[in-house]
Amino acid sequence: MGTKIYDCISRIAERIIENKDYLTDLDREIGDADHGVNMARGFQAVLEKVPRDSDDVGAVLKKTGMTLLSTVGGASGPLYGTAFMEAGKVAAGKEALTTGDVPAIMNAVIEGIQKRGKAVRGEKTMLDALIPALEAYTEQLEAGSDLSGAMDAACAAARDGVEFTKTIRATKGRASYLGDRSIGHQDPGATSATLIMEAVRDFLRG
């Protein structure tokens, strides 16, 4: 994983911006109809503010998080800002990431989101995609899989997690106001988290 971290962040930004309307439509069903718009605005700012030539993975992730924190509105700004900043702490000083670094980064991301959002798995949030993804990645790694196989498993588990959010009621955020009416709708945050993981997987494939 020695490629410039900015190029990976750029791929993530492109994926989010491409799906701006899709994410906003999902949020219109159970939220404020602004998730896609907010996320796209945040990642557009990331493209402009994050240093393009830095070899310090941790510094770039931290800057990404700080930028998202200051430009993405609603609950997503603090959550995604925290996620990238926590990832940056794990990657501090690293010029490249190894296959084994990924679980530590994902753990830090999940713990940061749990602490910031005071949420747990099963509450119709991005954790319902991220936690299964980490479990699947780790399982594949322990079984001897390479990075590509582990990332495939993580993304598939995240997609399954998104589907799972359709079956449960929301207990966090604006969607929680709908109660049982939130059942049948997938969580926008779980969806955007999955899009980010898929963008990373596709980037690593070249």
Q: Please, what are the domains in the chain?
A: 5-205 (1.25.40.340)
Euclidean distance between CA atoms 152 and 58, whole angstroms: 24
Q: Using CA atoms, how far apart are residues 112 and 8, in angstroms rounded to an integer? A: 21
CA-to-CA distance for 25 and 6, rounded, in angstroms?
29
> Are the CB atoms for 78 and 32 separated by under 8 Å?
no
Model pTM score: 0.94
Which pLDDT score is estimated for 110? 98
pLDDT value, residue 172? 61
> CA distances (Å), 14 to each of 19, 20, 102, in order?
9, 10, 22
26: nearest Cα among 99, 124, 154: 124
pLDDT (0 to 100) of residue 179: 64
C-alpha span between 49 and 112 (Å, rounded): 23
What CA–CA distance (Å, rounded) separates 103 from 122?
21
Burial of 72 (0-12, 13-18, 19+ CB in 10 A): buried
Query: In angstroms, how far is CA 112 from the centroid of its own chain?
Result: 12
Euclidean distance between CA atoms 87 and 20, whole angstroms: 24
- Check if the beta carbon of residue 121 is closer than 8 Å to that of residue 131: yes
Per-block mean pLDDT, blocks of 10 residues, the chain (206 long)? 79 98 92 91 97 93 97 91 97 92 96 95 95 98 95 98 91 63 84 98 90
Nearest Cα to 188, choosing from 59, 60, 63, 80?
80
185 backbone φψ class: left, alpha, beta (φ>0; ψ -120 to 50): beta
Tell me if 197 sits within 8 A of 154, measured CB to CB: yes
Q: In the structure encoding, which two tokens stand for residue 144, read together?
A: 């001897």
Question: Any idea of the CA torsion for 165, 171, 172, 174, to the nearest 10 degrees?
Answer: 90
Cα–Cα distance between 144 and 140 in angstroms, integer?
6
Query: Among 45, 193, 167, 38, which Cα is nearest to 113's?
Result: 193
